[in-house]
Amino acid sequence: MKTYLVTGLILCGVALVLSGCSSHYRVTDPASGKTYYTTKIDSAGRAGAVKLKDEKTGNTVTLQSSEVKEISEDEYEAALKAGTPAPK
């Protein structure tokens, strides 16, 4: 019985990890109008602030105010291709 419980918990954990890998987000800063694309959003520790890695530039960004929208993988890929900065 204990083996089934442990196996079930492991399978649930793997399912959560895999489902979290497929999320794509468009994050907009309402103050500047800048848009960022990412697959992971973290809490910055302050009320409502978010921290993310912008996939277009590779920069880590912290926003006090933001609009976050989950988008499809196709929209995410198209946005990255359309706005890829030139290599330095």
Give per-residue pLDDT as tens, 31-73: 999 999 999 999 877 677 999 999 999 999 999 999 999 999 9
Say if 35 falls within a structural domain. yes
Cβ-in-10-Å burial (0-12, 13-18, 19+) of 14 comes to exposed
Cβ of 36: how many Cβ atoms within 10 Å?
Answer: 23
Q: If you average pLDDT over residues 5-24, what whole number do you get?
A: 58
In a domain, 87, yes or no: yes
Whether residue 7 lies inside any domain: the answer is no
Residue 8 falls inside a structural domain: no
- How many domains in the chain? 1
Bridge partners of residue 42, in order along the sequence: 51
Adjacency order of strands within the sheet including 41-43: 41-43, 50-53, 60-63
Q: What is the mean pLDDT of the chain?
A: 80
Q: Evaluate whether residue 58 is within a structural domain.
A: yes
Question: Residue 31 sits in which domain range?
Answer: 23-88
pLDDT of residue 84 exceeding 90, the answer is no
For residue 78, what pLDDT band results from cuts at 50, 70 and 90?
very high
Note the pLDDT of residue 18.
47
Check pLDDT > 50 for residue 87: no
| Radius of gyration of the CA atoms of the chain, in A | 17
Q: What pLDDT is recorded for position 47? A: 77
Question: Residue 66 sits in a domain of what CATH number?
Answer: 2.30.30
CA separation for the pair 80, 35 (Å, rounded) = 11
Please check whether residue 43 lies inside any domain of the structure: yes
Q: Are strands 24-28 and 41-43 parallel, antiparallel or unpaired?
A: unpaired
